[in-house]
Amino acid sequence: MTPMIHILNGPNLNLLGRRQPEIYGRETLDDVAAACAAIGAEAGLETRLLQSNWEGQIVDWIHEARESAAGIIINPAALTHTSVAVLDALNTFEGPVIEVHISQVHKREAFRHHSYVSHRADAVMAGFGVHGYVLAMRHMAHLLG
Ligand code: DHK
């Protein structure tokens, strides 16, 4: 069976491409899904990109990933800085976890400098724009290869 990578996205990322483009760029989540699927096709990985504005939905998808995913790429968005629940869910997942931030969070407000998710993530990308998802996919392929 082809290994599956879940690419999970938190609050407000449904507006990617239209929301503060000077920070997050003009590419959409559909563009990200297509770019990740293309890397997956090269690397022999299936991808499933999901987005929710609801913390509990992200937790449920992480639980689903326990059954169906070999790895998780996650941009928790604002939940990065607030959610012990997302961290606890990720701690139940046994495969590699890569945390992605489109913006360079350490150059921004102090409240964005701390990440609960980084306590679990095996790698962290920040400031690469949406290209960070592509780089995360390549690293995931390397980890699972
Ligand atoms: C996205 C968000 O929505 C913010 O809440 C985070 C992250 C940064 C990003 O850079 O992708 O602070």
Give, for all 145 residues of the chain, the pLDDT tens digit.
Answer: 899 999 999 999 999 999 999 999 999 999 999 999 999 999 999 999 999 999 999 999 999 999 999 999 999 999 999 999 999 999 999 999 999 999 999 999 999 999 999 999 999 999 999 999 999 999 999 999 8
CATH of the domain at 107: 3.40.50.9100
Number of domains composing the chain: 1
What are the angstrom distances between the C-alpha of 36 and each of 12, 29, 107, 132? 20, 10, 26, 10
- Cα(76) to centroid(ligand 1), Å: 8
Provide the β-strand partners of residue 98: 73, 123
Q: pTM of the prediction?
A: 0.98
Domain of 83, in residue numbers: 4-144
**Probe target for ligand 1 pocket from 101, 114, 124, with the most ligand atoms within 8 Å of CB:** 101
